[in-house]
Structure 1
């Protein structure tokens, strides 16, 4: 069998216009793992309400961060793939969960090169229904329907892999090098609390109060909340960050259902009001900068913090196409190629 690699990231509209943003949002929000309600209600919420107003607003946000080469997330993902290719001989294709760079086209690209054994790499460090899981499910659906001869092996969530934590920590240290911070905020993508419960294989472990995180459980393998807080702790330990100068929050909530807290925008207000003058923000739920990091955090977050009385503000970029990050991904790929070994990680 010939081996190959499929990298999958979130995706992007083709342009920062309402015309292109609308079908992208439709595909994204109609995903049953993103808005996990019955199909009739989801259709009403998305196509009857959200898509009548949000595409224009989202297009304006995309326009603020759009690069001359195109969508930052797409451009960065392509640059990352090219760097990974420099350190492995396996064919690599790039697909997106949503948008025109489809997973089907990426698998076809691998098939055209004779690949029939695929190493699937969801470009998400943490496990969540609405990110990691939906990528895996979609790839398996496409494989079953269009590429039944292919075998799929999936990279596990890698947030606690020691090599990954080292590179993430190094990137943060570099971002903080010339910034005498008062506080560091680790802001992660938010999800509804019910997703935590749904992802719990035991159906009773996760209590959403932090106490359950201290009890070693199989539930931690699919608990996004636990994995986010664990990431913060791992980086704090790696860099020796002061306990009282670091906190964790969750951004980008949608609707009125309970979402993971504390909310990032409320933290911006709190920190500014409490006298923090120099704030650094890190977004470790993403490996590639995108709308959520470049507009919501780097731009809107700065405004919210300073409006609340804060001062200097920096957003530390995601890993993007760092050389050490691309080399580590290639190392994982080469280890899988040689012995089907997957990266080690320790979940506590």
Structure 2
């Protein structure tokens, strides 16, 4: 029996595309105070009285459009990744989701039962960048479960790896084959967050969003700054790919609500680029390591439609790292 065990953590997915399951999932997801960071009572009223009831039927249709015979793409890919990492590292590997199943409680209890010699569980969040609504909530939730559970093993957490050489190499090499085809532009579409999340994470209190070049000016705030980290990932990948400034840009997707979010919005960019002469576009989504609703449906379907209707001619959504050998090897090195 191994003394070290790996635990991969991802966002999660509804148990099915039935409206009731999607509604349940949305309620759990949106009631997280790190996702909608307003006081609990108004958050409860907003989520349960407005968002979940009206959004669930629409979201259910979207989930249905991407569901496979095996189930949710995110869950299926994450489970296959777990198996590949276990095979590659020779260490027992488990999987948990921040929302939905399998829960951290179930996964940690399973480790306790089937890995009695485990002394250390290494938590590997499947989020390269630090964000309050992704990396932070997943890590803090697992820590909370672990602290309350009186488990025999210690918990070690892998830091965000947005600039880790092996992650950058795997991401860059996943893009390279698509650059061999004719293209006009490479768009890096990252998951969006409200600007207030960036400000809340600024441990200096006076750096983030205070100037146009704050993300390029060294600061302790960058340790928790999602905006800096996605720009840094982009910069490092562009260096690997040897592209110039005119050949790529950065945008942010998946906006929710009316507050000010990081911009520009991916949907706006895709609608505008054809008018600027961009007819053939490549879109990569580095905030996600496994293809899911936001990459398959939001980018691959909705984004494609937006771009083509605006006059674009060719739209290519580059798959996430998913199960690539280099990605599996990178995880093995980082843990």
Q: TM-score, normalised by structure 2?
A: 0.97
Q: Which residue of 1 is the match for residue 129 of structure 2? A: 126
User: 5 Å matches for 1:212-231?
Assistant: 212-231=214-233
Shift of 1:49: 0.3
Q: Which residue of 1 is the match for residue 78 of structure 2? A: 77
CA distance in 1, matches of 2:155, 2:201: 22
Shift of 1:16: 1.0
CA distance in 1, matches of 2:222, 2:293: 28
Shift of 1:214: 2.2
The superposition leaves residues 278-334 of structure 1 with CA deviations (integer Å, 9 ceiling, x where unpaired) of: 01000000000000000000110000011111110000000001111112212223x
CA distance in 2, matches of 1:175, 1:83: 25
3-state DSSP of counterpart to 2:69: coil
User: 5 Å matches for 1:51-200?
Assistant: 51-112=52-113, 113-114=115-116, 115-177=118-180, 179-200=181-202
Any conservation in 1 of the 2:202–2:224 contact (CA below 8 Å)? yes
Q: TM-score, normalised by structure 1?
A: 0.93
Q: How many residues align?
A: 332
Change over 3 Å in CA distance of 1:235–1:226 after alignment to 2: same
Shift of 1:251: 0.3
Q: Which residue of 2 is the match for residue 346 of structure 1? A: none
CA distance in 2, matches of 1:103, 1:53: 29
Any conservation in 2 of the 1:143–1:150 contact (CA below 8 Å)? no
CA distance in 2, matches of 1:130, 1:37: 13
Q: Which moved more, 1:53-62 or 1:109-118?
A: 109-118
CA distance in 2, matches of 1:182, 1:208: 33
Shift of 1:44: 1.3
Any conservation in 2 of the 1:122–1:155 contact (CA below 8 Å)? yes
3-state DSSP of counterpart to 2:142: helix
CA distance in 2, matches of 1:292, 1:283: 9
CA distance in 2, matches of 1:190, 1:162: 24
CA distance in 2, matches of 1:119, 1:100: 19
3-state DSSP of counterpart to 1:132: helix
5+ long unaligned stretches in structure 1: 334-348
CA distance in 2, matches of 1:12, 1:163: 28
CA distance in 1, matches of 2:321, 2:216: 29
Which of 260, 272, 275 in structure 1 is aligned with 2:274? Answer: 272
